[in-house]
Amino acid sequence: MGEPTDGGLGSTIVTALGARLRGAIDVLYREMLKFGVVGAGAFVIDAGGFNLLVYGGGHGPLHHRPLTAKIISASVSVVAAWLGNRYWTFRRRRRPQVHHELFLFAVVNGIGLLIAVTCLGFSRYVLGHESPLADNISGTFIGTALGTLFRFWAYRQFVFSAVEVLPAQEPADPADPGERVEPGGPGEPSDPLERVQPTQPVEPTLPAVPTEPVDPIGPR
């Protein structure tokens, strides 16, 4: 075989880079979808908890302490988000050291929480908006949106940054398209013929040995 030409080598490199880019985009897309689902659940916990503490029954227990209420509701939602992201969104890249991962997760979410509280405080004490609508727009929607963007970037860069677990080491997720276990995986023969149950061995039959015909009259 001759050496590849410059055109053939360039085409091979472009094809390999294209396949690698498509794989990275596919992983990022699936992680973003899962992160969005987890984030939606955490958003419900955060928004519902905040409004219950501040405006529950018309005058919640923390009606005059909205920042404290925001910290409490956001903290509960952070715990729920960590469980969802660790065991679903980034389960293939989670760290074996749970305490270290939880610490980094808390630091990142502390910064995200600071972003949300800053938006709420700016609306309340700088702009002077104190209505429920203004609180939810500034703290719940704008603050949460900015904090979420920061969290997703920081999760991938710092929190869930362990070496990705190969699919052979962990069962595939039915929710992920394209993650299915093919025949020939660990513990399963790759050749379909090897999966057939062996039958009992058949003893070989020896060919019959011809004998001399017997004369009924006897020797003459």
What is the per-residue pLDDT across 25-42, written as a single tens digit (0 to 9) for each? 777 778 888 988 998 998
Asked whether residue 9 is assigned to any structural domain, the reply reads: no
Asked whether residue 199 is assigned to any structural domain, the reply reads: no
Rounded-to-integer distance, Cα 22 and Cα 9, Å: 20
Asked whether residue 118 is assigned to any structural domain, the reply reads: yes
Range 200-212 average pLDDT: 55
- For position 213, what pLDDT does the model report? 56
Show the domain range for 158. 20-166
Asked whether residue 190 is assigned to any structural domain, the reply reads: no
Angle between helices 66-84 and 6-55 (to 10 degrees): 140
Rounded-to-integer distance, Cα 49 and Cα 77, Å: 9
| pLDDT tens digits, 58-88 | 888 998 899 999 889 988 988 898 889 888 8
Alpha helices in the chain (DSSP H): 6-55, 66-84, 98-121, 132-135, 143-154
Asked whether residue 120 is assigned to any structural domain, the reply reads: yes
- For position 44, what pLDDT does the model report? 93
Q: Copy the structure tokens of residue 210.
A: 């011809």
Q: Copy the structure tokens of residue 208.
A: 């019959």
Asked whether residue 207 is assigned to any structural domain, the reply reads: no
**pLDDT surpassing 70 at residue 189:** no
Q: Whole-prediction pTM value? A: 0.51
Rounded-to-integer distance, Cα 151 and Cα 26, Å: 20
Query: Which position has the higher pLDDT, 169 or 97?
Result: 97
Asked whether residue 208 is assigned to any structural domain, the reply reads: no
How many domains are contained in the chain?
A: 1
Asked whether residue 157 is assigned to any structural domain, the reply reads: yes
